[in-house]
Amino acid sequence: MHDELYEEIFEAGALSSTAWLTSASRLKHAADILFDRYEVERSAVGTRDAPIDLAEMSLGLTATLIYGFAMENALKAVAVKKSPALAQGGNLRKWPSDGHDQSALASMIGLSLTAAQEELLASLTAFVRWAGRYPVPKKPSDMPLRKPSSMFALPPAALAERERDEFDKLYAVLCQIVVSD
Quick one: pLDDT at residue 79? 92
pLDDT of amino acid 153:
61
* Helical residues (DSSP H) of the chain, grouped into ranges: 2-14, 17-44, 54-82, 102-108, 115-126, 161-179
- Cα dihedral 68, 72, 78, 81 in deg (nearest 10): -140
Q: How confident is the model at residue 157 (pLDDT cuts 50, 70, 90)?
A: confident
Cα–Cα distance, 177 to 1 (Å, whole number): 37
Average pLDDT on 50-56 reads 85
Ranking 39-43, 118-122, 138-142, 166-170 by mean pLDDT, the lowest is 138-142
Q: How far apart are CA 168 and CA 180, in angstroms?
A: 18
The pLDDT of residue 148:
56
Least confident of 11-20, 143-152, 166-175: 143-152
Structural domain range at position 41: 2-179
Q: What pLDDT shows up at residue 149?
A: 59
For the cut 90, the answer to whether the pLDDT of residue 59 exceeds it is yes
| Residue percentage of the chain with pLDDT more than 90 | 54
Nearest CA-CA partner of 133 in 180, 64, 181, 35: 64
Percent of the chain whose predicted confidence (pLDDT) is above 70:
91
- Quote the mean pLDDT of the chain: 87
Sequence-ordered list of residues with C-beta below 8 angstroms from that of 63, at least 6 positions apart, any chain: 31, 32, 34, 35, 38, 158, 159
115-143 in b/e burial notation, b at 16+ Cβ within 10 A? Answer: ebbebbbbbbbbbbbbbbeeeebeeeeeb
12 closest CA partner among 109, 87, 93, 76: 87
CB-based contacts of 45, cutoff 8 Å, min separation 6: 52
The domain tally of the chain equals: 1
Q: What is the CA radius of gyration of the chain?
A: 18
